[in-house]
Amino acid sequence: MEREIFLFFHKTLANNFLDYLMIFFSQKGWLLWIPIFSYMILIILGLFLSDWLSFEIKNLTQRVRPCWTEYFREVIGCTHSYSFPSNHAVNALTSDTISLL
């Protein structure tokens, strides 16, 4: 049964283009990973840069968190960092911008 399946695929799906393509992937398939790795490095560098810039803007604006007020009922803890700009928003904007480029 395996022989019949092999012969079916070998005789019906065989063509010169696929033969050339499979030889190329076998020998130089690592070339296909270069754009993926360069994109990943670009995203990581962009996130590092945006986090640093966000930290600097936070220290310049020094907007206090709402939980620092005296009327805040503390259910969960409150960090001692500043609140503007939001790192979640900065990271999402950075990754979306790089993805659109």
Model confidence over 54-65: pLDDT tens digits?
888 887 887 777
Structural domains in the chain (count): 1
* Average pLDDT of span 20-46: 87
| pLDDT (0 to 100) of residue 71 | 67
Angle between helices 33-61 and 87-100 (to 10 degrees): 150
Quickly state the pLDDT bin for 70 (edges 50, 70, 90): low
Residue 74 has pLDDT above 80, yes or no: no
- Domain residues for the domain of 85 are 2-100
Residue 73 backbone zone (phi > 0: left; psi -120 to 50: alpha; other: beta)? beta
Question: pLDDT: is 38 or 10 the higher one?
Answer: 38
Residue 41 has pLDDT above 90, yes or no: yes
